[in-house]
Amino acid sequence: MTVMVLIGAQWGDEGKGKATDLYGERMQWVVRYQGGNNAGHTVVRPDGQKFALHLVPSGILSPQVTNVIGNGVVIDPGVLLGEIAELEDRGVDTSNLMISADAHLIMPYHVAIDKVAERYLGSSKIGTTGRGIGPCYQDKIARMGVRVQDVLDPSILAQKVEAALDVKNQMLVKIYNRKGLDPQAVIDAVLDQAEAFKHRIADTRLKLDQAVDRGENVLLEGGQGTLLDVDHGTYPFVTSSSPTAGGAATGSGIGPTRITTVVGILKAYTTRVGSGPFPTELLDASGEYLRETGHERGVTTGRARRCGWFDAVVARYSTRVNGLTDLFITKLDVLSSLSTVPVCVGYDVDGVRFDEMPMTQTAFHHAKPIYEELPGWSEDITGARTLADLPANARRYLDRLEELAGCRISAVGVGPGQNETIVVNDLLA
Ligand code: GDP
Ligand code: IMO
Ligand code: MG
């Protein structure tokens, strides 16, 4: 039995979709445990078909997998139905998808507030995806959220939406100078959508517990990444959930002692979308090179991703806060043809050297990378399927990353396709 958590170890978009697809072939369950349709996970199937998944777990493409949208996720019902319809149109069977009764629903007022709040912040904006994620989690924590199970009891749903809109409409009208929403229209729309997803509602934490008892393999597919975690990330430039390993237990109901494997997905360089500090960011031709060669454009918003060199301080930090057992390095192929590859091994903060993540965000904002230059390689490595197929300098690069990150590398991506992978260690029991 393997209960594997798969986590973004940087600022998101590390290749979690690809990794989930690869391991998903041998899983019985794939679970999303936090986030929502702020995520954009790309999967390129062995037959070359490409999928972009936002809310539905990437395991949906493996027919033997039961897919779970866990209690820690926030669900926009319209987006969910749209994504299911799109998958069905492409011939993907979605009958094996269930939704936790305890997941929260993103309501139209959450999306409206996310967008206007960002505009209101001006140059200090977070750069959110505008999907209502933050406002929905705010209501969850404030104990005024609407949960999936509320659609089964229309009078409770109506009470909750009316109570929420009492407050939200004042915010929209008085603070943000927008139109308020009509509670009845919001209620009717959700109840209408619920007709199409009601049959998927389940006690998913019980089902997952029973599956683990039976010795089945479960993969917990993280959204976002460690440095976007609301506790462990670069606050306030973070998302509003817990993508880190602890969040996998909370957001699925699988107890932490049942988790056997925690895989950190790391790009061989670094990207970030939205605002916030990014010590190794490249604002020059090298950054443009990584963006173009790596096709670094957001799957959800289409925004150009900020690009920079590999940051070993971030990698080490992720190993620590997630208790990583393994690393999956992606996009090594993007670095081919560079004469040298810089790796950030520490920070200079106002003349003081830091080998670990600084305690304060002020120090992190001032961090200047200290680089080590590693020799590059010019060969095309997309055909490599074992470490021995790689040029010596590419192997040297991986060895150094492993040493600096403090965790063994168990897989290496050399292209977007599921099979464009070097499997170093088999992670399934
Ligand atoms: P996710 O959000 O973590 O699932 O990552 P995204 O899908 O947002 O972004 C990762 C991008 O890199 C996608 O376009 C993937 O198809 C692509 N990708 C993943 N692994 C590799 C790899 O090893 N090499 C290359 N060239 N592309 C990869
Ligand atoms: P995947 O799962 C990269 C970023 C946004 C913004 C911040 C807060 O594909 O890796 P939010 O809408 O969550 O309130 O935005 O988090 N962000 C992501 N960046 N990949 C993602 O998901 C992201 N989801 C959110 O750009 O900076
Ligand atoms: Mg993504």
Residue 196 in this model has a pLDDT that exceeds 80: yes
> How confident is the model at residue 253, as a pLDDT?
98
| pLDDT value, residue 340 | 98
Question: What is the predicted pLDDT for the residue at 394?
Answer: 98
pLDDT of residue 212: 98
Q: How many CB atoms lie within 10 A of CB 293?
A: 17
The residues with which 44 forms a beta bridge, in sequence order, are 50, 417
What mean pLDDT comes out for the span 78-89? 98
d(CA 426, CA 428): 6
Question: 23: left (phi > 0), else alpha (psi -120 to 50), else beta?
Answer: alpha
Pick 104-198's CATH classification: 2.40.30.10, 1.10.300.10, 3.50.50.60, 1.20.210.10.
1.10.300.10
Is 104 a known active-site residue?
A: no
Q: Give the three-class secondary structure for 146.
A: coil
Q: Would you say the CB of residue 18 lies under 6 angstroms from ligand 1? A: yes
Whether pLDDT at 386 is above 80: yes
Measured distance CA(303)–CA(419) in Å, rounded: 28
Select from 18, 291, 331, 337 the residue to mutate for testing ligand 1; criterion: most ligand atoms less than 8 Å from CB.
18
Cα–Cα distance for residue pair 34/57, rounded to 1 Å: 11
Indicate the class that CATH gives domain 3-90+203-423.
alpha beta
pLDDT for residue 375 is more than 90: yes
Nearest protein Cα to ligand 2, atom 13: 239
Best CA proximity match to 22, nearest among 417, 362, 429:
417
Higher pLDDT, 301 or 378: 378
Tell me if 44 CB under 6 Å of ligand 1.
Answer: yes
Q: In this model, does residue 280 exceed pLDDT 80?
A: yes
Domain with CATH 1.10.300.10 in the chain: 104-198
Nearest CA-CA partner of 103 in 65, 151, 63: 151
Residue 258, pLDDT above cutoff 90: yes
- Distance (Å) from CA 134 to ligand 2 centroid: 11
- Helical segments of 60-182, H only: 77-89, 108-121, 133-141, 154-170
Q: pLDDT tier at 301 (50, 70, 90 boundaries)?
A: confident
Question: In angstroms, rounded to a whole number, what is the distance separating the alpha carbons of residues 307 and 305?
Answer: 6
Specify the residue for token string 């790796």: 343
Q: Specify whether the CB–CB gap between 118 and 126 falls below 8 A.
A: yes
Chain segment 334-366, per-residue pLDDT in tens: 999 999 999 999 999 999 999 999 999 999 999
Confidence of residue 289 (pLDDT cuts 50, 70, 90): very high
Q: Please write the tens of the pLDDT for every residue from 389-412.
A: 999 999 999 999 999 999 999 999
At residue 94, the pLDDT reads: 98
pLDDT of residue 429: 74
Peptide bond into 236 cis (omega under 30): yes
Q: Where in the chain is the domain with CATH 3.90.170.10?
A: 3-90+203-423
Neighbours of 91 (CB within 10 A): 7
The amino acid at residue 160 is: K
pLDDT grade, residue 300 (50/70/90)? Answer: confident
pLDDT score of 299: 85
Q: Is 41 a catalytic residue?
A: yes
Q: What are phi and psi of 367, to 5 degrees?
A: -65, 130
User: Using a 6 Å cutoff on CB, does residue 40 contact ligand 1?
Assistant: yes
pLDDT more than 90, % of the chain: 98
Residue whose CA is at the smallest distance from ligand 1 atom 9: 13
148: pLDDT confidence band, cut at 50, 70 and 90? Answer: very high
Query: What pLDDT score was predicted for residue 402?
Result: 98
Query: Which one of 13, 102, 114, 139 is the catalytic residue?
Result: 13
pLDDT tens column, 14-50: 999 999 999 999 999 999 999 999 999 999 999 999 9
Q: What is the pLDDT of residue 49?
A: 96
Query: 104 has which bridge partners?
Result: 74, 147
Looking at residue 6, its pLDDT comes to 98
